[in-house]
Structure 1
Amino acid sequence: MTAPPNPARLHDPDAGWPRRARDLLAAIRAAISELPGAEAALLDHIGSTAVPGLRAKPFLDLQLRIEPLPAEDALSACLAPLGFRRSRGSRPDSPGVDRDVPRGDEDVPDAVWAKLLYVAEPEAAILHVRRTVSPWGRHTVWFRDWLRAHPGERVRYEAIKFRLAAQNAGKPDYDDYTRAKSAFFDEVEPRFTAWARERGA
């Protein structure tokens, strides 16, 4: 019997992921150089492909943190030559497309949670564009670094991802998989936040 299609299927770690991410981030930095705030912008390789030894969907998650959040038309024009196009998500309610779900213990204006999402399918990359002051932007980096420093948690996270990937086989996208993973993120957020702050992050 043929296995059902599974967009959430995990792949073995690829030693080329970090190099590809570095190359793409360098190209993005050059492409946005004329945008307001570009000089101080932060560019990050985030997500599971940024954690050595962690199985992942073979899409690089990249992050641009910039202040102010660029106008969509201007940013789209900068990124188009690199193969990135504005993503609207697989469904009308796809998570994290135009706005992050507020989280954390910081009291910030509602506008901070706005974001832009881009995909580059030939490069198998996703670019999350957030304001520099967005707590989400920091949390993605803290979570990445915490997983790198805690192998036992990385193994536990991978086991949860495998279970959820199997549960979501046969679905047309991985939106439900993404939402289900948030339970682990919610559980460990106080721990990785405290860990990062203890280190002055």
Structure 2
Amino acid sequence: MTDNPNPAALAPYDPAWPLMAVEQLALVRGALAGLPGADTAQLDHIGSTSVPGLAAKPFLDLQVRILPLPEEAELIDRLEPIGYQRAPGARPDSPGVHRDIPRGGEDVPPEVWQKRLFVCADVPAILHVRRLDSPWGRYTVAFRDWLRANPDQRDRYARVKTALAEENRGKADYDDYTLAKTAFFDEVQDAFAAFSASAD
């Protein structure tokens, strides 16, 4: 009996990933030009493909942080011509499709967790569109920079991800894999938050 495809399967780090991310973010920035907040928007390569030496699902995680958060229809009109489609999520409760999971005990208005998620049909890329004041937007950048600066923690995270990918082998989507990584984020959040604060 053959295993089902494993969407959570990891690939070795590919040095082409950062170059691909730069190209895609330039396309996204051009597509969003003229929107309110576009001039001050932050565009980031995040996730495991942004950390040299870290195994990852071979999909670029890209992020736009913009305020105000554009309406969904406006984003669809601008992003579809460059290959990005609105992501429906694998399940009705898929994490991070319409809003991020609140974390860190932050006392913030509920609307800051809103987001829009897109996937690219032309290259393996996922685009997270968040508010400029999104706590998750800050977490993703702080976590990336912390892993880049701490190879021992990068390798520890790789071991966690490898184990979770194996546990989720044969599942039709990787939502359980994504949710399970939250335990690691919770465990190390103080460390990467302190790292980020010291770098400011």
TM range (shorter): over 0.9
CA–CA separation in structure 2 for the residues paired with 1:57 and 1:89:
17
Identity %: 60
Match of 2:43 in 1: 43
Question: Amino acid of the residue matched to residue 88 of structure 1?
Answer: P
1:88 aligns with 2:88: yes
1:120 aligns with 2:124: no
Unaligned residue ranges in structure 1 (runs of 5+): none
CA–CA separation in structure 2 for the residues paired with 1:104 and 1:121:
33
Unaligned residue ranges in structure 2 (runs of 5+): none
Match of 1:169 in 2: 169
Match of 2:196 in 1: 196
| Structure 1 segment 69-80 matched on structure 2, within 5 A | 69-80=69-80
Task: Classify the secondary structure of the residue corresponding to 1:45.
Answer: strand
- The two structures, once aligned, show a CA RMSD in angstroms of 1.0
- Deviations 1:70-107 (Å, cap 9, x if unpaired)? 01111111100111011120011100110111123542
Match of 1:6 in 2: 6
Task: Classify the secondary structure of the residue corresponding to 1:65.
Answer: strand
CA–CA separation in structure 2 for the residues paired with 1:155 and 1:60:
19
How many residue pairs get aligned? The number is: 200
What is the TM-score of this pair, normalised by structure 1? 0.97
CA–CA separation in structure 1 for the residues paired with 2:171 and 2:112:
32
- Spell out structure 1 runs of 4+ moving beyond 6 A: none
What is the TM-score of this pair, normalised by structure 2? 0.97
CA–CA separation in structure 2 for the residues paired with 1:134 and 1:98:
13
- Deviations 1:9-41 (Å, cap 9, x if unpaired)? 000111110000000001100110021110100
The alpha carbon displacement at 1:122 in A equals 2.4
Question: Amino acid of the residue matched to residue 20 of structure 2?
Answer: R
1:137 aligns with 2:129: no
CA–CA separation in structure 2 for the residues paired with 1:33 and 1:45:
19
Asked whether the equivalents of residues 89 and 97 of structure 2 are also in contact (C-alpha less than 8 Å), the reply is: yes
CA–CA separation in structure 2 for the residues paired with 1:4 and 1:93:
22
